[in-house]
């Protein structure tokens, strides 16, 4: 199924509930972000929309931020194995070659997912576009040694990168 594309003008003028529906996949399972962004329209460009949505998350408080982080699937995790990823996450993980992992790589990712979640209490988040599975594993191995505050910040920054990619995929130049 081909993804729909919208112009910024369409997003700026559509009813708020349609705006929320169209942008629901930008921040994983978190429609509260586009709900708040709808109130700030019109946006002059994609970057302004992206900044507004990111700022909404920044101002949401740590509990809401953790809920957003926890809404993201583990990389090559149980949801991927069961085919339960969102269309966006499926495309992103497949594009990075995570569906092509050897058994050894898959086992390593499973181990890293468990270590990371045990240490930080939330899943490892990485905007995988531009990475191959080897780069993802190397990034994972480095970040599991960070402290919680650094990983919370890094996870949010990665979510903003993911959102930027998804917005650019959704919105076409007018």
| Residue that has been written with the tokens 């070659």 in this structure | 97
Calpha distance 9→27 (Å, rounded): 21
Given the structure tokens 């399972």, which residue do they identify? 29
DSSP state at residue 48: H
> What is the three-class DSSP state of 6?
strand
Report how far residue 82's alpha carbon sits from residue 162's, in angstroms, rounded to the nearest whole number: 22
Is 29 assigned a catalytic role?
A: no
**What DSSP state is assigned to residue 173?**
P
Contact predicate 20/38, CB 8 Å: yes
The answer to whether 171 and 11 have CB atoms below 8 angstroms apart is: yes
Q: Which of 50, 72, 134, 146 is catalytic?
A: 72
Tokens 């599975």 belong to residue: 133
Catalytic residues: 72
């Amino acid at each position: 199924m081909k993804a729909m594309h919208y112009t910024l003008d369409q997003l700026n003028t559509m009813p708020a509930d349609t705006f929320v529906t169209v942008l629901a996949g930008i921040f994983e399972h978190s429609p509260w972000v586009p709900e708040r962004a709808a109130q700030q329209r019109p946006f002059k460009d994609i970057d302004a929309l992206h900044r507004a949505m990111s700022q909404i998350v920044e101002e949401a408080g740590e509990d809401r931020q953790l809920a957003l982080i926890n809404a993201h699937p583990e990389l090559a995790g149980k949801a991927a194995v069961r085919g339960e990823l969102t269309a966006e996450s499926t495309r992103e993980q497949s594009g990075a070659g995570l569906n092509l992992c050897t058994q050894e790589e898959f086992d390593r990712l499973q181990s890293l997912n468990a270590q990371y979640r045990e240490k930080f209490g939330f899943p490892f988040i990485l905007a995988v576009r531009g990475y191959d599975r080897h780069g993802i594993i190397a990034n994972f191995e480095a970040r599991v040694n960070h402290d919680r505050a650094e990983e919370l910040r890094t996870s949010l920054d990665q979510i903003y990168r993911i959102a930027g990619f998804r917005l650019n995929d959704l919105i076409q130049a007018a």
